[in-house]
Amino acid sequence: MMNKKMLLFSNGSEITRGEQPSKFAASAIRDFLGARIERALFVPFAAVVRSYDEYAALVRVRFGPLGYEVNSIHEATDARAAVESAEAVVIGGGNTFHLLRGMYEAGVVEAIRARVEGGVPYIGWSAGSNVACPTIRTTNDMPVVEPQSFDALNLLPFQINPHYTDARIEGHQGETRDERLAEFVHANPGVYVVGLREGSVLRIEGSSAELLGDLPARIFLKGQPATDVQPGESLQFLFR
């Protein structure tokens, strides 16, 4: 765990909407990757309606002004070799089930895990943050396809719920997000879930985590009331 460097966004709009990344996202990415990284390997498999070519082109346009060249894994003749030579791995958002199926089909789940555990920087947003967890069972997405397993990269000892909101919609009779996550931790005792609100980022360095942004993250664990952790507060308990 000591070598891992990860930057996990709740959502990708900070990066992929508008003509360039927001100042917040641009600053976070530059500070995270630094000047020693020249190019990143992008994994576009979360795209469903948008083509992989379109998604890769969008990410190139956003990362280029930040000083980083982007290669896309779907263009590689050997996906595993592309991972093994990557200076950084970037996994975009979209549908988490589609993303994980694509990663398994490309045969790169173990390769990405090994590279990140060895110190290669990892950036993910939305679905890309989901697959950094032990499983994808705290995604909000519809299972439009079936991956061979729900087991993901297992780069963290806890789960993330991107796009977390505690909003209640008038007249809506389904479960709230809190109720759904309470069901998950009840069925999976001892597993933390971090509800990551929009505009929030987790920066992982080894076995420590820092919450970036202006909003708190909500923490779920069986037997404990859901609590908010503010940016700047310790998240060390997540690694126990």
Q: Which residues are catalytic?
A: 126, 141, 163
Backbone angles phi, psi at 163, to 5 degrees: 60, 25
Residue 95, judged by CB atoms within 10 A of its CB (0-12, 13-18, 19+), counts as: buried
**Dihedral sign, Cα of residue 239, residue 130, residue 91, residue 28:** negative
Contacts of 32 (CB under 8 A, 6+ apart): 5, 7, 121, 123, 203
Between CA 39 and CA 45 the distance in angstroms is: 19
